[in-house]
């Protein structure tokens, strides 16, 4: 995935803003707000949604964030079944 490849470029000097998501927020709404914050600041933003940590980089679209979250959620369900 392009998002994961981009994350490999992060290091300990890369500014990352960590934000929280309020209970009851839908993943699409959270993704849109985080992408807006990334666009405003130019920094990566990290947040956790339903136990899944995501880091959003400049140039990432909200739909990509939602897809990444859905993919990770599905993978985590598969791990729990084992």
Residue 21 carries which DSSP code?
-
Give the range of the structural domain holding residue 22, as residue numbers without chain letter.
2-81
Lowest mean pLDDT among 2-11, 34-43, 47-56, 71-80: 2-11
- pLDDT category, 68, cuts 50, 70, 90? very high
What total number of domains does the chain contain?
Answer: 1
Give the pairing of strands 44-49 and 16-18: parallel
**Nearest CA to 56 among 73, 74, 36?**
36
Q: Give the model confidence (pLDDT) of 8-34 as tens digits.
A: 556 666 688 999 999 999 999 999 999
With 50 as the cut, is the pLDDT of residue 82 above it?
no
| Cα→Cα distances 60→25, 52, 80, 81, Å | 20, 18, 29, 31
């Amino acid at each position: 995935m392009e998002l994961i490849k981009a994350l490999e470029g992060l290091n300990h000097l890369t500014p990352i803003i960590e934000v929280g998501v309020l209970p009851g927020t839908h993943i699409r709404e959270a993704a849109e707000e985080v992408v807006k914050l990334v666009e405003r600041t130019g920094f990566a933003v990290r947040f956790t949604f339903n136990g899944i940590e995501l880091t959003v980089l400049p140039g990432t679209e909200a739909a990509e964030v939602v897809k990444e979250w859905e993919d990770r959620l599905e993978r985590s369900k598969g791990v729990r079944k084992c």
